[in-house]
Amino acid sequence: MNHRPFIQNDILENLVRIAREAADVVMAVYASDFAVRGKEDASPVTEADEAAEAIIVAALTSLTPDITIVAEEAVAAEGPPAVGSRFWLVDPLDGTREFVSRNGEFTVNIALIEHGEPVMGVVFAPALGVLYAGAAGLGAFVEEEQEASRAGHPTRRRAIHCRAAPSAGVTCVASRSHGDAAALDVFLGNYLDGRPLASLTNAGSSLKLCLIAAGEADLYPRLGRTMEWDIAAGHAVLAAAGGQVRDLDGEPLRYGKPGFENPHFVASGLPG
């Protein structure tokens, strides 16, 4: 019996299509004078979050009707569903604060979880024209929109992977909208243990995980609250590119936890 019957290229291609369809709605709202509301946890939500989630949920239900879908806005409205060993995690608009501030660093995220591991994922940043995808056994890739694509030419797709340990020092990415700079400085001092820090830059949403997957950064410590749907798709891309996400005890980050809340973690493309 195939342990992972859904880890197939056609399923991944369907996820790419679904993410792009949801992003069309997101970008239509982005171009409008949209309203922002607050949820019970004080995080912002817009009509783009809700419309994109509706598209993704409907498409995944049609694609894999027997697989439970855990989607951010549905959980906020109805509570978390019970899940088995295989389920979808959906964040229709990760980086809502970036969306509201119109800096472009927001993403549509879809991930497949199997036995606690993110085994397939798509992260699409439509305002930046870049889509990352990956799956266990299939590797990871990025699609970058070229100027020519607006004239009907296809996007450029290329394989990505984490880079080897850099000789010039570690490139670290951190949250643009969340985080404690002082705590991060202390953590990096301990974690790097004498290795030089080449640069520390900020980025929004799940793009930080994808930058590591693409070999453009090495480390992303998250010393603040996240939910599983925030990072699962980026984690899947990173894992397919050869990286890892571990909690602060060094254990692999798992999914399907009670409440779907993550501990603090470190995403890394560094060897070892």
Confidence of residue 81 (pLDDT cuts 50, 70, 90): very high
The label of the residue with tokens 């694509």 reads: 149
Query: Does residue 45 sit within a domain?
Result: yes
Q: Using an 8 Å Cβ cutoff, are 187 and 221 in contact?
A: yes
pLDDT reported for residue 148: 47
| Mean pLDDT in residue range 142-154 | 67
With b for 16 or more beta-carbon neighbours within 10 A and e for fewer, the 94-105 pattern comes to bbbbbbbeeebb
User: What is the C-alpha to C-alpha distance for residues 142 and 145, in angstroms, rounded to an integer?
Assistant: 10
Domain around 149: 9-160
| Whole-prediction pTM | 0.91
Please check whether residues 96 and 149 belong to one and the same domain.
Answer: yes
Please check whether residues 16 and 103 belong to one and the same domain.
Answer: yes
Please check whether residues 68 and 176 belong to one and the same domain.
Answer: no
pLDDT above 80 (res 180): no
Question: What CATH number should be reported for the domain holding residue 85?
Answer: 3.30.540.10
Confidence of residue 104 (pLDDT cuts 50, 70, 90): confident
Cβ partners under 8 Å of residue 70, min gap 6:
80, 81, 83, 87, 88, 89, 90, 228, 229, 260
Domain count, the chain: 2
**Last residue within a domain, chosen from 135, 160, 185:** 160
Q: Using an 8 Å Cβ cutoff, are 119 and 7 in contact?
A: yes
pLDDT reported for residue 125: 95
- One-letter amino acid at 231 equals I
Q: Using an 8 Å Cβ cutoff, are 205 and 106 in contact?
A: yes
Query: Does residue 217 sit within a domain?
Result: yes
| Mean pLDDT in residue range 49-57 | 94
Question: What CATH number should be reported for the domain holding residue 195?
Answer: 3.40.190.80
pLDDT above 60 (res 260): yes
Please check whether residues 61 and 147 belong to one and the same domain.
Answer: yes
